[in-house]
Amino acid sequence: MTLDVNTLFVVTIYVEAVLGLLMLFAWIQDTAISALAWWGFAHLLRAASITLLGMYGTAPELVTIDLANALLFTAFATTWTGARVFDGRPAEPVYLVIGAVVWLLICRLPIMADFAGLRVLAAAVIITSYAWLTAFEIWRGRGEPLLSRWPAIFMLFGYGALFLLRVPLAAMLPWARIDGDLSRSVWLTAISFQALLLTISVAFVLLAMAKGRTELRHRTAAMVDPLTGIANRRSFLHEAGLLAKRHSVDPRPTAVLLIDLDHFKSINDRFGHAVGDRVLEIFTASARAVLRTTDLIGRLGGEEFAAVLADISREKALLAAERIRESFADAAQYVDDRPVGATVSIGLAYCESPVLDVSGLLAEADQALYHAKERGRNRVEVATLSRGIPHRDAVAVARIARPAA
């Protein structure tokens, strides 16, 4: 069996069908990534289209040319739609059919009937447009840390360029034809084979993207608190450990805050757990609005939070803690039109030592937090028995503290 265009038709049909079924199987395994279903059906549509194209000469051109190409363009439109869905954009029905409709309309033009080359070029332009639009959609979602996005972008761009150029290139090289028959052109066969390889490569890169997202989602679930969207205890302690290693190389003054919502059990009992969850979300939003992007914040469990503020003076750390307390008290005065009046108590420990012992600082901040609770809540207490700071009292009361609500 020689590797000519006819052989490539058969091979391409088989490959497209297998890739489509593989995509659908992957989607069944993880239905949360619905883009896999779109991409799977796109491959199956291409297999059907190529089957009809392969019947040229044995069936009416309405089927082997018009309908086959309409299916082919719909397949590429489906791939584009899958890329949109993958990054959370809506599936627009008009995008699925616009290429096929344009094709069927231009096929009715008299000039298209007279010059077959124009129809081939028009088909290539439509396919290239869809391939490049798919590459653009994947590029738009580049904020998500998926390394396989970039190979997908380059391959789709190359696929579109190859599809646009392969027929004109073969037509420009008459010496590469056999007996004047373009269908037996050596160059057309070679370029078609390259397109098949790119189709396989793009399919596996898209599968790698889906797999990467699943793994990222699992890592995120393991490291991020699902309610507040900040680091959970495990992630917080891990990131704090990395920060401590960087601190040993380049020591900077660092503050650790331990934060506890006041009377949180009472809030749950009086207003219900839904309101309690909203209070936690409001606190997180208030704290993140105050803290810098370089600061680390996490939920240690229940209503207890912690933050690490690196490269900050003692005064600025205290001011940040007070701003968290005040902004949260204002934001949580009323929650869902209910007079919740939630507040927080904060313990602050400060380190100017070359060694950053986060666990030790958390213990000091815990003692300061205990005194904040003991002295009326809704206040910030500063532990002065901190690393690199001379011992005075075990805990000093922050002078700017609002009376307990």
Query: What residues pair up with 275 in beta bridges, in sequence order?
Result: none
What is the spatial distance between Cα 92 and Cα 103, in angstroms, rounded to a whole number?
Answer: 19
* Beta strand ranges found along 23-148 (DSSP E): none
Q: 284 is written with which tokens? A: 């997180």
Which DSSP symbol is given to 176?
G
What is the spatial distance between Cα 43 and Cα 16, in angstroms, rounded to a whole number?
Answer: 5
- For 230, the enclosing helix (H) or strand (E) is none
- CA-angle at 147, arms to 146 and 148, nearest 5°: 90
Identify which of 219, 235, 383, 238 has the alpha carbon closest to the alpha carbon of residue 301: 235
Edge-first strand listing for the sheet containing 296-301: 296-301, 304-310, 254-261, 344-351, 380-383, 395-397
Identify which of 79, 78, 76, 49 has the alpha carbon closest to the alpha carbon of residue 65: 49
What is the spatial distance between Cα 45 and Cα 79, in angstroms, rounded to a whole number?
Answer: 10
**Dihedrals phi, psi of 172, to nearest 5 degrees:** -80, -10
What is the spatial distance between Cα 77 and Cα 203, in angstroms, rounded to a whole number?
Answer: 15
- CA-angle at 151, arms to 203 and 154, nearest 5°: 100
Is 303 catalytic? The answer is yes
**Active-site residue, selected from the candidate residues 303, 322, 364, 381:** 303
- CA-angle at 156, arms to 141 and 133, nearest 5°: 60
3-state helix, strand, coil split of the chain in percent (to 5) is 65, 10, 25
Q: 127 is written with which tokens? A: 């396919």
Q: Which residue has the tokens 């290429």?
A: 99
List active site positions.
Answer: 303
